[in-house]
A and B are shown apart, each in its own frame.
Chain A
Amino acid sequence: MVYGLVLLGLLLGLWQSAAGAGGKGKGDGIPGPAVVARTAWTMLSDPFYDRGPNDKGFGLQLASSLGRLASGYLAASVVAILLGVALGSSPTLFRAVNPFIQVLKPISPLAWMPLFLYTIKNSGQAAVLVIFMSSLWPTLANTAFGVASIRRDYLNVARLLQLSWPRRFVQVILPAAAPAILAGLRISIGSAWVAIVAAEMLIGGTGVGYFVWNEWNNLALDSVLFAILAIGLVGVVLDLGLGRVARLVAYSE
Chain B
Amino acid sequence: MYLQIDHVSKFFPAPDGRHRVCVFRDVAFGIERGEFLTMVGHSGCGKSTLLNIVAGLETASSGGVVLEGREVRGAGRDRMVVFQNFSLMPWLSVFQNVRLAVRAAFPDWSRAQVREWTQRYVEMVGLAGAEAKRPAALSGGMRQRVGLARAFSTEPKVLLLDEPFAQIDALTRGVIQEELVRMWTAMRNTVFMVTHDVDEAILLSDRIALMTNGPDARLAEIVEVKLPRPRSRASIIDDPEYGRLRSHIIHFLVERSRLIQEEQGREASVLAREPVTT
Residues of A within 8 A of B (CB): 153-154, 156-157, 159-163, 167, 171-172, 175-176, 178, 249, 251-253
In the complex, A162→B79 CA distance in Å? 11
User: Per a CB cutoff under 8 Å, which of B57, B76, B136 touches A251?
Assistant: B136
User: Per a CB cutoff under 8 Å, which of A156, A162, A167, A171 touches B87?
Assistant: A156
Assuming the contacts A153-B83, A159-B75, asked whether A253 and B104 have C-beta atoms less than 8 A apart, the reply is no
Select from chain B the residue with minimum beta-carbon distance to A172.
Answer: B89
In the complex, A178→B77 CA distance in Å? 27
Assuming the contacts A171-B100, A251-B136, asked whether A178 and B57 have C-beta atoms less than 8 A apart, the reply is no
Question: Across the interface, do B91 and A178 meet the contact criterion of CB distance under 8 Å?
Answer: yes
Q: Looking at chain B's contact residues, is the secondary structure mostly helix, strand, loop, or mixed?
A: loop
Chain A residues whose C-beta falls within 8 Å of the C-beta of B135 in the assembled complex? 253
CB A252 to nearest CB in B, in angstroms, measures 4
Which of A161, A176, A253 is most buried by chain B, counting CB atoms within 10 A of its CB?
A161
In the complex, A30→B101 CA distance in Å? 66
Q: Looking at chain A's contact residues, is the secondary structure mostly helix, strand, loop, or mixed?
A: helix
Q: Kindly state whether residue B28 has any CB partner on chain A within 8 Å.
A: no
Question: Across the interface, do B100 and A161 meet the contact criterion of CB distance under 8 Å?
Answer: yes
In the complex, A167→B134 CA distance in Å? 21
Q: Kindly state whether residue B85 has any CB partner on chain A within 8 Å.
A: yes
Question: Across the interface, do B105 and A161 meet the contact criterion of CB distance under 8 Å?
Answer: yes
Question: Across the interface, do A159 and B87 meet the contact criterion of CB distance under 8 Å?
Answer: no
CB B104 to nearest CB in A, in angstroms, measures 4
Question: Across the interface, do B87 and A153 meet the contact criterion of CB distance under 8 Å?
Answer: yes
Chain A residues whose C-beta falls within 8 Å of the C-beta of B55 in the assembled complex? 160
Chain A residues whose C-beta falls within 8 Å of the C-beta of B104 in the assembled complex? 161-163, 167
Chain A residues whose C-beta falls within 8 Å of the C-beta of B87 in the assembled complex? 153-154, 156-157
Chain B residues whose C-beta falls within 8 Å of the C-beta of A249 in the assembled complex? 91
In the complex, A64→B100 CA distance in Å? 43
Which of B80, B100, B135 is most buried by chain A, counting CB atoms within 10 A of its CB?
B100
Which of A157, A167, A252 is most buried by chain B, counting CB atoms within 10 A of its CB?
A157
Question: Across the interface, do A162 and B90 meet the contact criterion of CB distance under 8 Å?
Answer: no
Select from chain A the residue with minimum beta-carbon distance to B74.
Answer: A159
In the complex, A253→B137 CA distance in Å? 9
CB A153 to nearest CB in B, in angstroms, measures 4
